[in-house]
A and B are shown apart, each in its own frame.
Chain A
Amino acid sequence: MTSRASALATLNDERGPDADGTPVRSPGTRSGDSGVPPLRAVPQHPSGLDDDELAAFGAAMDRLREGILASRGREDAAYIHRVIDIQRRLEAGGRLALFAGVFPPAWVAGTAMLATAKILENMEIGHNVMHGQWDWMRDPEIHSSTWEWDNACPSEQWKHSHNDVHHTWTNVVGKDRDIGYGVLRIDERQPWSKAALGQPVYALVLALLFQWGVALHDVEVDEVLRGERSKEETRRKLGQIARKGGRQVLKDYVLFPALAGPFFGPVLAGNLAANLVRNLWSFTIIFCGHFPDGVAQFTTDDVEDETRAGWYARQVMGSANIEGSGLFHVLSGNLSHQIEHHLFPDLPSNRYGELASDVRAACERFGIPYNSKRLSKQFGSVLGRIARRALPG
């Protein structure tokens, strides 16, 4: 095994991974995961790395981040402008085609275009713009402070529940409300009750109505029921959701169908189908990013006094990548590079692909598990987990 000193030396000079690629240490020392007892009494980071190793890993991640910041520029801006342009053309084209939706080919084409537009808007554009990935362009129209996405969830609430809560507390049980979205039991440390038996059905319903699940997410219904949220705050949030969701419903299910006059049926059906496809797709990508087997959940003890480096390591352990083609990555909002997204949530998404190989190499060197598999594997694993956790244990 390479000594830590040489691993540090390798990291400190910029040549990249160890020539022989030997891991610094073996993976799998997460407490409670294997039989290896922690050697020290001081709380250890769940990655099993000691402080120096963690610091070196953190420094390596910081250098990757610096590299992207230094080279961010014209081509990246051109990329997001192009995606936005394509998205708007698809949306306009899809809606036009649906007006001719009595002809089945036009309906299929229109629905496919509209569904793709909604997927692009929510994932590669909206989600990433709201993360501030494009704020550096200083374009007030493509800015996290102004973007409102094509989704029932008000941007302001999304930015709180997602950017703030989920990205800070990634996979910390009891803190990260994205674990099972408050309805599913994903980790054995979440308490079991009889209600969990129905969770394969809940999962299906959540997937079908995902944008509404996301919309209600920040209201924290369970905490409201327990009286832990102020009535005023809850009322304000529900009001926002009603207005935003209302506008979405009005547009997709009333105005556009009405504009089609006698052909309102196909337009309504097309819009419903497009929203449904977007819901299923985003549910799939998001669940595959955090809940396949092998992805770690953490306890609040794990994150006590966590350093930035420790946070980095937790992001890797708490996320999973999905392998696929370039088009697949764009359509998943580059959340197929979930690990890189969690490490660097505000770097432009089009750069995650090139970061992935460096991140993976660093993780292998330090023995931090890096979970990356095909969509079918990851999704199968997620479904298996939802089913398993329906039962106690």
Chain B
Amino acid sequence: MSYSTFNRKHFDSMKEPMFFGENVNVARYDQQKHPIFEKLIEKQLSFFWRPEEVDLSTDRKDFQRLEEHEQHIFLSNLKYQTLLDSVQGRSPNVALLPIVSLPELETWIETWSFSETIHSRSYTHIIRNIVNDPTKIFDDIVTNEEITKRADSVSIYYDRLIEMVNLYNTMGMGTFNVPGKGDIEISMPKLKKALYLTIASVNVLEAIRFYVSFACSFAFAERTLMEGNAKIIKLIARDEALHLTGTQHMLNLMASGKDDPEMAEIAAECQNEVRQIFIEAAEQEKEWATYLFKDGSMIGLNAQILGQYVEYITNVRMQAVGLETCFATKHNPIPWINAWLVSDNVQVAPQEAEISSYLVGQTDNNLDDSDFDDFDL
């Protein structure tokens, strides 16, 4: 079955599954099989922000005053985040658009991926502000072994799915010999399994991997350092919260069988593999924490505490997709992080109040005192 950018068949898109049904033809949103994706689109659009609106002028001075091992922590995180958003800015589109079958989900995927490009642009904004030669930092992302290890684990499921869908679209079903890779079997169950595992690994990427960097960014900000960066990370974290809800919905809808009965069987079949994806990612992130703090810790955060946070947040995320939790850490070792992760708007109640401040002109880089109420290290 080859992909068509405008499927000429007549069919009822309300009866299609999320993926591997008909290619979408008319982009219509007056009716939705899964209204949640339409709501996610609206929410994401209401979050729109531009990195340049956040003033980073004091971050430059702060950065110069950081100790060397703190600069290592800060820059390594930034590199890792740049890697993750480079992947996320394209992969949902490349991997999922050729196989999606619902207009509202198709548009959610595009909206989601677009917002990742804003995140990528914000890293350039941050890096430009703190160093004279951004190239050195960007180049290291493809050469630094600790980072490239991460790249392998975040892209492997996407790449496998893309490869299989390419084969499916050009050759159809069957077993095909791909030079350098051997025999690859293409069948609907195999494709669906590759998809399910991909969505799980994306959920892990957005719901666990990112939070390690978030914790470090906010630990600096707790010491009133790199506060412009923290403002940007806050906006990114708000977007990521929505993205992880998107993948949780996909996973839960698939597992429930409400969308595609065959998908429910596959979800049940690979429950163990999915658990393993969560556990492995948590272990990799703990390793990463060790790398971050190899030359010294920072006030309020060290490899051990960050490792516990990884375990805790992994438990939270596993529970959210109906998996049994697997780590002993039942309490958040850095509860102050939540006060940073929360969107400011809830503190003033009506949601429009804050969002408009991001749209109109520059956000003030000076956090006011009330931002620091109620938590300490």
- Whether chain B is bound by chain A comes out as no
